[in-house]
Amino acid sequence: MSYLTIAMGKGRTAKQAMNFLEQSGIKFPDFHEKSRKLVFIDSTERVKLIFVKAVDVPTYVENGAADIGIVGKDTIMEDPADVYEMLDLGIGKCKLAVAGFPDKQFTNSAPLTVASKYPAIAKEYFERNGIRTKTIKLNGSVELAPLIGMSDVIVDIVETGTTLKENGLVVLQDIADVSARLIVNKASFATKTNQIQQFILDLRAVLE
């Protein structure tokens, strides 16, 4: 039987996801948090785990380089891939929201400038709500943009809201709830149906 390859982003959800895998009976003896290895094989030699940049997980899965991926809903929404999305792992919970200064009004007199790591989500959200926008793509420290006057609002993931608060910003509107999802390559699902369905069943048993 061939390996089931799982792609995962390194980061805080990875730790919890590893716990789930371990509870469902898939153990990686080589794995420890400080390890810099990118490929791990489980003790029964049925599952291969690869660590990739989180935003690349859907790409690996869509192209079949990995059969299964674990990735945040925010990443899937920003860049939709042609994959199956079969399980909500309920970890890495946060929400996508519009944030800005508390007194910010949405008028349509001039386009609203939006800074975000998620330009596609931001554009889609405001279009749906009939607000004209100009989006600025940033890769980090998005909260800075309204403070220095580069943008009116930001679209970002909010977990506890501490960063926003410390910078004098508040959540103005919620866009969507985010959590880690299990995605599956469509060809793998056809050619390795039993292997993948069993994997999902085992994982679901742990979640419940």
Partner 1 sequence: MVNQELYPKRMQQYHEKFERIIKTINKRFTTYGYKRIKTSAFEQYDLYSKVNSSTDQTEMMKVIDRTGEVLVLRPDVTIPITRELAQNFSRLPSELRYFYVQEVFRQTQDTNTSIESTQAGIEYFCESSPEADAEVIALACHTMKDLGFTDIKIEIGHAAFFSELVQGLPLSLQQINQLKTLIQAKNVVEIGPFLRQFQIDPEVMEAIERIPFLYGNIEDVVKRASKTLLTTNMEKTLDYLLKLHATLKTYGLEQYIIIDLGLINHMGYYSGVIFQGFVEKYGKPVLMGGRYDELGEKFGAVLPAIGFACEIESLVQVTEQREVSAAFPIDVKIVYEEEQLNFAITIANELRERNYTVLSFPIRKEKADLQKTVYEIRLQVGSFSLADQEQVIPFKDLKELLTLLVGLKGGA
C-alpha 6/C-alpha 52 separation (Å) is 10
- Please report whether residue 64 would count as binding partner 1 according to CB under 8 A: yes
Report DSSP state, residue 9.
E
Within 10 angstroms of residue 142's Cβ, the number of other Cβ atoms is 22
Binding mask 13-52 for partner 1 (x = CB under 8 A): ----------------------------------------
Indicate which single residue of 19, 63, 129, 141 sits in contact with partner 1 (rule: CB under 8 A): 63
* Interface stretch with partner 1, choices 18-26, 63-71, 109-117, 157-165 (CB under 8 A): 63-71
- Please report whether residue 205 would count as binding partner 1 according to CB under 8 A: no
Smallest distance from partner 1 to CB 190, Å: 4
Residues 76-105 that bind partner 1 (CB under 8 A): 83-88
Indicate which single residue of 19, 35, 191, 198 sits in contact with partner 1 (rule: CB under 8 A): 191
Structure tokens belonging to residue 53:
């940049």
- Please report whether residue 181 would count as binding partner 1 according to CB under 8 A: yes
* Interface stretch with partner 1, choices 48-56, 142-150, 163-171, 185-193 (CB under 8 A): 185-193
C-beta of 35 vs 193, nearer to partner 1:
193
Q: In sequence order, which ranges of 81-191 are alpha helices (DSSP H)?
A: 119-128, 144-147, 162-166, 186-191
- With vertex at residue 90, the alpha carbon angle to CA 29 and CA 138, rounded to the nearest 5 degrees, is 95
Radius of gyration in angstroms for the set of CA atoms belonging to the chain, rounded to a whole number: 19
* Interface stretch with partner 1, choices 15-23, 24-32, 56-64, 157-165 (CB under 8 A): 56-64
C-alpha 145/C-alpha 135 separation (Å) is 12
CB 48 within 8 A of CB 4: yes
CB 34 within 8 A of CB 96: no
Structure tokens belonging to residue 158:
């909010």
Q: Give me the residues that bind partner 1 (CB under 8 A), please.
A: 2, 61-65, 83-88, 181, 184-188, 190-193
